[in-house]
């Protein structure tokens, strides 16, 4: 039997395309189909799927959709019904979806309904001696597993940042829209609003070229015996604004807000990098006033080029965890860096 792949995605918040992770996952699904000599069908869910489908027309793939006001927002019952209907329509051997929070919530339930197997947070798909092999990380990126399964359907969700995004010229797409009627009990959960932490500034930028990490040292007493938290805030915010970097934090720093210490107002637990935090993917990283402990640095697994600024020449970064360590005062380094960036921006403006 040839391997038919169903690629599943949901429309993004703008209603005109898909989340970035979905275009990356589509790239992986198309690559896999070429290796397996299989086919890809695209299945979309959202209030109106046509505009998003148009962005995928150049794939030449058959397209299915489930749409309407009932499918506008993430909800287990309606999303599960929609993607189950699309799976029953094409009976795929392999289902591939981006690991967005909306789909991650639904895929295990889908697997149960289809008597399928499911593996989540996959980082790559390839053929190993002709056998489909999915890889994922365990124990916060310390162990990599290569998974092969005989069971079909096999449902796989792919993490973001693991494959180049597919792109093609938009064109009118022919979408076969499936009618899915929901029973009353599938509509009991209602979407009300999106709540986000009020951190004052948008500091998490997954697409940034640089990850800038602040550690607890920024709020500690400095050589004059005083803390300089307001100065630290403006140095960091100026740098983020001028460089476009994304902001990460160490656990010690983000925890301080709960310990009644002077804190950086824009830093929340969402910024935390490490074993109990995030594992962001950026080409470069710059760590400041952070010691470079193993539970923190494990979150740097996918940062390609690492630099750190620390007063302590014997800090964790010095022991092979950074490519370059500047033994220096981060307040002075960042002030100099900001003035260089401002001068560069002034000449290019
Ligand atoms: C199970 C477990 C899970 C954990 N998970 C995480 C995690 O997910 N993420 C995480 O970050 N940590 C995690 N930790 C905590 C981790 O071990 C460290 O305690 C933490 O990362 C230390 O944070 P820090 O380096 O900011 O602070 P500190 O250890 O206090 O280091 C501050 C540093 O700032 C430097 N400094 C001070 N002033 C300046 C200056 N002016 N210029 C330059 N440098 C200066 C000092 O030299 C010092 O090295 C975990 C720990 C455990 C046990």
**Per residue in 89-120, pLDDT tens?**
999 999 999 999 999 999 999 999 999 999 99
Give the DSSP per-residue string, 220-249. S--TTS---HHHHHHHHHHHHHHH--EEEE
Q: What pLDDT does 198 receive?
A: 60
Q: What pLDDT does 195 receive?
A: 78
Q: What pLDDT does 182 receive?
A: 97
| HSE (side-chain half, CA atoms, 13 Å) at 312 | 14
Say whether pLDDT at 1 is over 80. Answer: no
Rounded distance from Cα 249 to ligand 1 centre (Å): 9
Whether residue 203 has its Cβ less than 6 Å from ligand 1: no
Say whether pLDDT at 34 is over 90. Answer: yes
**Phi then psi for 17, rounded to 5 degrees?**
-155, -160
**Are 59 and 168 in contact, with CB atoms under 8 Å apart?**
yes
Taking the alpha carbons at both ends of the chain, their separation in whole angstroms is 60
For residue 67, name the pLDDT band (cuts at 50, 70, 90). very high
Q: What pLDDT does 185 receive?
A: 95
Q: What pLDDT does 250 receive?
A: 97
Mean pLDDT, the chain, rounded, equals 94
Q: What pLDDT does 347 receive?
A: 87
pTM for the predicted model, two decimal places = 0.82
State the closest ligand 1 atom to the C-alpha of 309, by its place in the atom list counted from 1. 43
Say whether pLDDT at 155 is over 90. Answer: yes
For residue 348, name the pLDDT band (cuts at 50, 70, 90). confident
Average pLDDT for 181-209: 85
42-56 residue pLDDT tens: 999 999 999 999 999
Rounded distance from Cα 209 to ligand 1 centre (Å): 23
**Phi then psi for 12, rounded to 5 degrees?**
-80, 180
* Rounded-to-integer distance, Cα 214 and Cα 251, Å: 10
Q: What pLDDT does 112 receive?
A: 98
**Are 282 and 210 in contact, with CB atoms under 8 Å apart?**
yes
Give the distance, in angstroms, between the CA of residue 225 and the centroid of all CA atoms in the same chain: 40
Q: Dig out the tokens for 136 from the structure.
A: 């994922």
Pairing of strands 303-310, 246-249: unpaired
Residue among 106, 130, 123, 210 nearest 159 (CA): 123
Q: What pLDDT does 259 receive?
A: 62
* Rounded-to-integer distance, Cα 220 and Cα 222, Å: 6
Query: Among 26-40, 200-214, 325-339, which is the least confidently predicted range?
Result: 200-214
Rounded distance from Cα 245 to ligand 1 centre (Å): 20
Rounded distance from Cα 193 to ligand 1 centre (Å): 35
Question: Can you state the angle between helices 330-348 and 229-243, rounded to 10 degrees?
Answer: 30
Q: What pLDDT does 201 receive?
A: 64
Give the distance, in angstroms, between the CA of residue 283 and the centroid of all CA atoms in the same chain: 14
* Rounded-to-integer distance, Cα 151 and Cα 5, Å: 14
Which residue among 140, 275, 316 is best mutated to probe the pocket of ligand 1, counting the most ligand atoms within 8 A of its Cβ? 275
The residue whose CA is least distant from atom 49 of ligand 1 is 291
Give the DSSP per-residue string, 10-30. E--TTSSS--HHHHHHHHHHH
Name beta bridge partners: 177. Answer: 65
* Rounded-to-integer distance, Cα 300 and Cα 321, Å: 9
Q: What pLDDT does 226 receive?
A: 95
Residue with tokens 């002709």: 130
């Amino acid at each position: 039997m040839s391997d038919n792949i169903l690629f599943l995605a949901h429309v993004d918040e703008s209603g005109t395309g898909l989340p970035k992770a979905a275009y990356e996952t589509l790239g992986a699904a198309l690559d896999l189909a070429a290796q397996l000599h299989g086919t890809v069908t695209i299945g979309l869910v959202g209030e109106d799927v046509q505009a998003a489908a148009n962005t995928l027309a150049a794939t030449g793939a058959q397209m299915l959709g489930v749409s309407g006001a009932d499918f506008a927002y993430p909800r287990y019952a309606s999303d599960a019904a929609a993607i189950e209907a699309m799976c029953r329509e094409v009976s795929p051997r392999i289902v591939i979806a981006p690991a967005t929070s909306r789909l991650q919530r639904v895929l295990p339930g889908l697997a149960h309904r289809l008597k399928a197997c499911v593996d989540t947070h996959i980082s790559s798909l390839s053929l190993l001696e002709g056998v489909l092999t999915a890889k994922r990380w365990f124990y916060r990126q310390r162990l990599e597993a290569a998974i092969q399964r005989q069971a079909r359907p096999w449902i796989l969700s792919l993490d973001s940042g693991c494959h180049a995004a597919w792109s093609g010229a938009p064109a009118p797409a022919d979408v076969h829209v499936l009618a899915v009627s929901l029973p009353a009990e599938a509509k009991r959960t209602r979407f009300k609003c999106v709540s986000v932490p009020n951190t004052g500034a948008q500091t998490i930028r997954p697409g940034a070229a640089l990850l800038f990490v602040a550690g607890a040292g920024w709020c500690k007493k400095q050589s004059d015996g005083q803390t300089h938290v307001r100065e630290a805030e403006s140095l960091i915010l100026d740098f983020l604004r001028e460089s476009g970097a994304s902001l990460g934090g160490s656990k010690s720093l983000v925890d301080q807000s709960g310990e009644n210490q002077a804190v950086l107002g824009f830093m929340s637990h969402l910024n935390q990098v490490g074993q109990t935090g995030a594992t962001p993917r950026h080409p470069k990283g710059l760590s400041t006033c952070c010691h470079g402990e193993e539970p923190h640095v494990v979150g740097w697994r996918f940062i390609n080029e690492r630099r750190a600024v620390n007063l302590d020449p014997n800090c964790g970064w010095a022991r092979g965890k950074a490519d370059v360590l500047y033994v220096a005062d981060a307040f002075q380094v960042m002030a100099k860096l900001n003035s260089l960036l401002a001068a560069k921006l002034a000449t290019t403006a």
